[in-house]
Structure 1
Amino acid sequence: MQSTRRNLPQLLGDARRWFEEGLSAAMQAAGATPVSPTQAWLFAVLDDQGTTVSELARRMGVTRQTAHQAVHSLLAAGLVEQVQDPASARQRLIRRTEEGVRAHRQAGIVLERLEEQLAERIGREAVDALRAALEAPWGRPPSPSSQ
């Protein structure tokens, strides 16, 4: 018989989707430009001064092509812009537009409210323990030889 116990990555994925869906619904209700979870993740890892597409892809754990597609759609929505990298004539930086800064700030407020709602549902101690566990240094993933 197959176990019904879900593994930790599945549970973490569900938790992430809970926040993504709550964020998306709240932002849509506020009249913000709709964005996909990938676009929202790109926005979250974007530096204020700008970030290259290659670095965005690395931070997101996706291919450069996936990051480029997300950037392209956010450019079209007017939430980010491309600017010349002052450190390199060959590179362009992606950074938030004024509208993007406003949307990012609004999303931060929504995420704080979602965390408070979660604390009301599962308890402040559980949320604090979850945060502490996720913020703790886990080190590099084990190598195949150590498993």
Structure 2
Amino acid sequence: MIGVNRLISNSELQNLDLIDLLSERHSLVRKISEKAWNNQSEIYISNSEWYIMARIYKKQPSISYVTKNVEISRQAIHKFIKNLSDKGLVEVKNVENNKKEKCIRLTALGEECYEKNGALKAQLEEKIAEKIGAEQVHILKDLLKLDWDI
């Protein structure tokens, strides 16, 4: 499928529970998405870096806010932010009236990369819709957006 080997065969998928099915599909689409970006860009961006970029897109959160709202260790987040900064994708600044706190925002290059990647993900979504049907994709998205109260 789309140039990346499946992580698990379709016959093996039949025996998985919901949690493992979600995990397998998530891993597959993330791998495809990462490969699509890295095939067309000279700037390598890992899935964890995309995850952080998604949390700060069009915002200027504090780094402590990011560490509390991203499911990655605090130490790893600081490493990823440094990597993103070194690539020119984010800018870290002091928070006004607070000497300890720093905020983070995407640079113009970071926003451009994020938006280009959004277009690549939209293409992947279209390919999935071609395989399973646009209505099925719509239903799946609606189900995933519901409050599962868990």
Normalised to the residue count of structure 2, the TM-score between the two structures is 0.82
Q: Who is 1:70 aligned against?
A: 80
Say yes or no: does 1:6 pair with 2:25.
no
1:16-62 deviation digits (Å, cap 9, x = unpaired) = 22222222222122224111111111111114231222222222222
1:69-88 to structure 2, matched below 5 A, reads: 69-86=79-96, 88=98
Normalised to the residue count of structure 1, the TM-score between the two structures is 0.83
Runs of 4+ displaced beyond 6 Å: none
The percent identity for this pair of structures is: 23
Which of 27, 32, 35 is the matching residue for 1:22? 32
Quick one: distance in 1 between partners of 2:106 and 2:42?
15
1:1-147 to structure 2, matched below 5 A, reads: 5-86=15-96, 88-139=98-149, 141=150
Aligned residue identity for 1:125? E
Q: Secondary structure at the match of 2:99?
A: coil
Quick one: distance in 2 between partners of 1:8 and 1:60?
23
- RMSD, aligned CA: 1.7
Contact 1:57 1:66 in 2 (8 A): no
Quick one: distance in 2 between partners of 1:127 and 1:88?
45
Task: Give the number of equivalent residue pairs.
Answer: 137
- In the alignment, structure 2 segments of 5+ residues that lack a partner are 1-13
Mean CA deviation greater in 49-58 or 129-138: 49-58
Aligned residue identity for 2:90? V
